[in-house]
Amino acid sequence: MSEPAGDPGVPLDNAKEEVCGLTCTGENSKHDSAVCASNSEIKSRAVVKYSAAPPPASYALLQEKTDLKLPPANWLRESPQLGSAGTTILGSSSKSKPFSSFGMAYDFIDCVGDDVDVVSDSENIKKLLKIPYSKSHVSMAVHRVGRTLLLDDLDIQELFMSSSQTGDWTWLKEFYQRLIDQKWQRKKKSKEHWYQKAILSKFLYHSVNGDGAAEPVSDSLNEGEGDGTEEFRSSWPTAFTSASTDAEESDVPQQEGIPVDSKYALDQVASVSKEQNLPMLFNEGENSQGLRNDFIRNIMWTFEDIHMLVGSNMPIFGGGRYPAVSLRLRDNNKPINILTGIDYWLDNLMCNVPELVMCFHVNGIVQKYEMIKTEDIPHLEHSTFSTRVVKDIAQNILSFLKSNCTKEGHTYWLFKASGSDIVKLYDLTTLCEEAEEEKCQNPFTLPVAVLLYKVASNLMLNSRHGRKHYGTIRTLLLNCVKLLDQDRHPQIIASAHYMLSELFQLDEPPQEDGAESYGVGGSEDSYSDDDREEEEEEVTELTEDSDENSSSSSQNDQKAVAVISSVGELSVPEKYKSTHQIRPSCAFPVSQDKEEKCRHVLSYVLKGLKAVDGTIKKESDLPAADPYTPIPLKYKDRSAAGACAAETGISPLLERVGPLEADQNHPTRSGMIPGSWQHRLKLQLFLKASKAYYVLSDAATNLLKYGRALRYIKLSLQCYDAYCSVSGTLHPHVLYFHSQCLSLCGDIQLMLAQNANNRAAYLEEYSYQTKEDQEFLHSLHRESSCQAFNMATDLATDPEYQLFVGNKCYEAAYELLVSDVLKDHASDQLPQVLKRLGNIRNEMGVYYMNQAAAMQTEKEVKMSVTVAEQELWKKSFAFFEKGMKDFEVIGDSTNTALLLCNTGRLMRICAQAHCATAADQNRGEFSPEEALYYNKAIDYYLQAMKSLSCRESHPAVWDSVNWELSTTYFTLATLLQDYAPLSRKAQEQIEREVTEAMMKSLKYCDLHTESARQPLYQYRAATIHHRLASMYHSCFRNQVGDEHLRKQHRSLAELHYSKAVCLFLSLKDSPCELLRTLLERVAFAEFTMAGQSSSAAKLKSLTAALEIMTETRHAFQLIYSDLLQEQTELNEQDPAESMESPEVAADISSGLNLQEVMKLIGVFEPSFSFLLLQLIKLMTTAKKKPSNKDEETLKTYKNVYSKMLRAEKNALLLDRVKLYVELLQQLTPQTGGDDTASHS
């Protein structure tokens, strides 16, 4: 196990700069060292994130006079201590690789974008911090990703040499020549340079004790381990093992010792997974682009408030007073200058090495060793420098770069010519776009795009439970797509568009007030597309001190984005401030409008599909097919053949249930190979599109736009069909979603059937198609014919067919949910589907029931029941029965009661159809079939009542069932009474059955609960009492012999007449019924008088009859009020017309049956006159001397009778009724009691 460099025992009182903490790494480890304050107030902390170096070995102390010019025996051989030593040491350039920061960024993707300010090779960091002290040239590429800047060495001359054959950088070469105003020439390395490299290489091999020329350092000086990096990268070989994984910071305490392991790489490595399930959809070849992290160690270095991820190759040895030291070779004749001192100091800070071991030589002959603490390096003779100035330089350079490198995806070039004091920053991306040549390629484009993608995917994975990074992710992905050419990099582009679509969560509930908003998703260092045009025109934003310098230098070079006019400014504290704030307006552009959200998703999915399709086959290779050719409905008619065709057409709904068996090696219709990146991406894109169209359909359904909803669900199912065509297996979550689609399709077909009047509008909505939808269909047809669900999603013109299709959709959804694949996943959805299934079966039952009722009404001659009627009854009953079972499964007693109620109604329709018809087309006797079906209806209504158990469970349904049950009993009793089956039953039996049915109907008349039906219940109860009274009246008239039975009938008739009168009186709107009942009651009284012989008894009976007659005054008052109101209304409309034809005017009345009134008046007049005449005769011929009261009464009777005789027979109805009211009013005091009579 490779152990990182550490500092387990640095005494804090000896530290002048902070050289903090142990840089341990390990699995899930995190370094947490204290920040040590020093007199110079420079804060530094280094944490090794990854190390590929072996455990630190003790360096060999070379004997004095050792000749370093002589190669040791192990020179240039592979050495565990030095890594993979090869000839590259002498041949490699001292420059960093141009993409070294990208290799680190790929491995430590969590750090990029937010936590880290700079990612770079340590050599580049040192070069930047030495700018004010050095005259050498600086050339670096700068890229921005969020808050992070990536710095890479850009060797222009080497770049031109390598691209001389391709001509890629001709435009930059010409620009560079104008910039330095001279012909560029590649400087050759001097012999001295190669001599120094060879001496250093041989010294390092000597120091690992490769031969007997050196002695190891005593054990007392080797108390720990460490590892580190070499001063010049060219002096140290590349990483011993591929740095393809990273490690996190260790939380091992500083005081613990670290055991030495024989392995060279870290044993436990917590790395970013190479296989990210969701976003990482393109393969590793295009993912990494061959960019590797070739550093021996990667270090998270915090220098003051600057966080840097640096790569270092400095060799670190054990020995000395500390467990880690850096080893340096110096010519004794040349003093250490400031540049070298800063180099040494920064290397040790970055690698957390507390001590420097210096070996001095003269002409390659070892002279002596000297040990220097890291904090003492700034104070060496000839090498004194201020650490605070270095800190200011670092802060100023970072502020300068952050203020001006603002555009993600752009390549910036930081350039300082050799010997110049001016530092310029160019935007190479803009320069490249302005170049006239066609072949202008930026080699940084692809690495930048891949990095943007990686950062976005990493944020995506970490943002599953929160949306605060969604704005940043969107910006990163849009910039990534903008950089790439779709023809060259379709994988990344397609994956990026899929991730963009994934930012829109389609299944989340609407946001409530106070909930986390998409709008705050933009990080501080990301920007939206809307801001780009403004940023194109922005120039460097520096402090006021530098405004003049910036403007003057911009005149010298208009191409520069920003200029530092003098390197000396970098030493001034806070000279440059990062005033450019990348706007937090990168709000995630998602409204709560579902349709807009889905359109965003579909737009990105379509772009992704186009990128994938471009890599598979050309359109000309596909079979010719027009995706827009309408597919004719297979359901032609209602015949058996038509129904069979519909069954066949709808069957594919169930063909997709369960996992598919597909040959994984067989190419798809378009030529895709299963398992390829195209295949994986298309699956995700098809499914996402299907979900988006599903949400659109659901939203349209809520808006009652059923034609549009059907179009969207058709597109959703077509996407699903294409998904099935390329998928080898359907996962449970996909099948669950499919069941939701089928259920929604059923909802839409049901609503279309119920709203047949708007069919024209729905057809227009259904036929409309956007360009985007057409392009989607074109892409879908590359993989599938998309016709599996045509029968389910066609807009039919027949409501019956729509109900049939909706039912099949629900059945298919149910079959899916109870299948083995989903039976453990669909507990919440199953009751919903069963409820919908029960509902549509109820609708179909009602549809066929209404069809049967309509057929019965249309029949001119009621003959026997037709076969067509019976078929409709069977269909209706079957659907009601299935619906009841569905509701019973989920324990829905209310809907079960409703279906039982509808079944009862069906039985009543069957009973009506079996109505017997006599030869003269009149209604025949009540048939046994009618009785059977009415009793069946009663049974179903009673079951419905039992299902509800009590009114409180659902009052509205209870009242409805209660009313239907009362109505059925009443209808049964009425038919038995009016069309008595005397040919089959005795009169007494019929009377008993009528009485029983009437009393049961009366039982269910709820007279006490206040509701809309209360007046109807009162009217029915009054009618029942009237009918029973009439029946007993008839029995009393016709009964001969049994006096006891006659008395019973008389008593019951009186009881029911009185109850009927009371109820009709309370209704106030049934004057005719009240008048008829009273007249029948008068007739009943007259009949009882017929058998009396004595005058006194007859007088008593006649007086009682007249009292009943006077009660008709209430009925006539109601009739008079109605007639008067109608007459007034007609006079207001057209007085002339109403005067000319009063009868016609009265006939217009809709509330009063004038024929019935005239008929009743025809009975009333003679009966009233007869009673008065008989009373006058009896009172006149009485032997007993009349009292004053009797004389007054007789006088009144005569007066009333006289007026009746003199009344105009042809008078207006209104006048006649008014007269009756007046005459009856005169009689009221006479019949009202003794008190009123005595007063008169």
Cβ proximity of 795 and 707 under 8 Å: yes
Q: Is residue 897 over pLDDT 80?
A: yes
**Residue 653's pLDDT is what?**
52
Average pLDDT over residues 423-448: 73
Q: Is residue 169 over pLDDT 80?
A: no
DSSP letter for each residue of 226-283:
---B-SSGGGS---SS------EE----TTS-----S-SS-SS-----S--SSS--S-
Report the C-alpha gap between 679 and 569 in whole angstroms: 57
DSSP letter for each residue of 1174-1190:
HHHHHHHS-SSPPPHHH
pLDDT, tens digit (0-9, with 9 covering 90-100), for 338-373? 999 999 999 999 988 889 999 999 988 999 988 889
**Residue 548's pLDDT is what?**
38
**Residue 835's pLDDT is what?**
93
DSSP letter for each residue of 276-330:
-SSS--S-HHHHHTT-----SEEEEEEETTEEEEEEE--BEEEETTEEEEEEEEE
pLDDT, tens digit (0-9, with 9 covering 90-100), for 94-132? 455 667 888 888 888 888 877 889 999 988 899 988 889
Report the C-alpha gap between 270 and 109 in whole angstroms: 12
φ/ψ of 560, rounded to 5, equals -75, 140
pLDDT top residue among 1212 and 261 = 1212
Selection from 216, 254, 244 nearest residue 352 by Cα: 254
What is the Cα 73 distance to its own chain's centre?
71
Share above pLDDT 90 across residues of the chain, in percent, rounded to a whole number: 19
Which region among 429-443, 816-830, 846-860 has the lowest average model confidence (pLDDT)?
A: 429-443
**Strand partners of residue 905:** none
Which pLDDT band, with edges at 50, 70 and 90, does 628 fall under?
Answer: low
Q: Is residue 3 over pLDDT 80?
A: no
Quickly count: other Cβ atoms within 10 Å of residue 389's Cβ: 17
Using the structure block, give the residue that is written with the tokens 């079960």.
896
Average pLDDT over residues 679-702: 92
Cβ proximity of 477 and 463 under 8 Å: no
φ/ψ of 149, rounded to 5, equals -110, 130
Residue 432, SS3?
helix
Which region among 9-18, 213-222, 603-612, 687-696 has the lowest average model confidence (pLDDT)?
A: 9-18
Which pLDDT band, with edges at 50, 70 and 90, does 591 fall under?
Answer: low
Side chain identity at 637, as an amino acid letter?
D
Q: Is residue 510 over pLDDT 80?
A: no
Q: Is residue 315 over pLDDT 90?
A: no
Q: Is residue 221 over pLDDT 90?
A: no
Would you say the C-alpha torsion 106, 109, 113, 115 has a positive or negative sign? negative
Would you say the C-alpha torsion 285, 286, 290, 296 has a positive or negative sign? negative
Cβ proximity of 171 and 432 under 8 Å: yes
**Residue 665's pLDDT is what?**
58
Q: Is residue 138 over pLDDT 50?
A: yes
Report the C-alpha gap between 380 and 414 in whole angstroms: 32
Average pLDDT over residues 382-401: 89
Which region among 292-301, 834-843, 1107-1116 has the lowest average model confidence (pLDDT)?
A: 292-301
Which region among 417-431, 648-662, 888-902, 927-941 has the lowest average model confidence (pLDDT)?
A: 648-662
Share above pLDDT 70 across residues of the chain, in percent, rounded to a whole number: 72
Which pLDDT band, with edges at 50, 70 and 90, does 642 fall under?
Answer: very low
- Which range among 29-33, 816-820, 1182-1186 has the greatest average pLDDT? 816-820
Quickly count: other Cβ atoms within 10 Å of residue 516's Cβ: 11
3-state secondary structure 661-728: CCCCCCCCCCCCCCCCHHHHHHHHHHHHHHHHHHHHHHHHHHCCCHHHHHHHHHHHHHHHHHHHHHCC
> What is each CA distance from 649 to 390, 398, 632, 794, 817, in whole angstroms?
80, 69, 11, 11, 22
pLDDT, tens digit (0-9, with 9 covering 90-100), for 1058-1070? 999 999 888 888 8
Side chain identity at 1089, as an amino acid letter?
M
Q: Is residue 259 over pLDDT 70?
A: no
Share the mean pLDDT of the chain. Answer: 75
Longest alpha-carbon distance in the chain: 177
Selection from 98, 99, 100 nearest residue 156 by Cα: 98
**Residue 247's pLDDT is what?**
34
Which pLDDT band, with edges at 50, 70 and 90, does 1006 fall under?
Answer: confident
Q: What is the DSSP letter of 558?
A: T
Work out whether strand 148-153 and strand 118-121 pair parallel, antiparallel, or are unpaired: parallel
Q: Is residue 440 over pLDDT 60?
A: no
Which region among 149-163, 187-201, 426-440, 1203-1217 has the lowest average model confidence (pLDDT)?
A: 426-440
pLDDT, tens digit (0-9, with 9 covering 90-100), for 42-67? 888 988 888 877 777 788 888 888 88
Spell out the residues 6+ positions from residue 561 whose beta carbon is closer than 8 angstroms to its own: 404, 412, 425, 426, 427, 539, 540
Report the C-alpha gap between 219 and 321 in whole angstroms: 10
Average pLDDT over residues 1082-1109: 82
**Residue 1037's pLDDT is what?**
82
Q: Is 15 left (phi over 0), alpha (psi -120 to 50) or beta?
A: beta
Burial per residue of 932-958, b for 16 or more beta-carbon CB atoms within 10 angstroms, e otherwise: ebbebbbebbebbbebbeebeebeebb
Burial per residue of 7-16, b for 16 or more beta-carbon CB atoms within 10 angstroms, e otherwise: bbebeeeebb
Radius of gyration of the chain from Cα atoms? 52
Report the predicted TM-score, pTM, of the whole model to 2 decimal places: 0.72
pLDDT, tens digit (0-9, with 9 covering 90-100), for 1150-1186? 467 888 888 888 888 888 888 888 888 888 887 777 7
φ/ψ of 741, rounded to 5, equals -60, -45
Average pLDDT over residues 326-336: 88
Average pLDDT over residues 145-163: 79
Quickly count: other Cβ atoms within 10 Å of residue 974's Cβ: 18
pLDDT, tens digit (0-9, with 9 covering 90-100), for 1007-1056? 888 888 888 999 999 999 999 999 988 888 887 667 788 888 888 999 99
Q: Is residue 479 over pLDDT 60?
A: yes
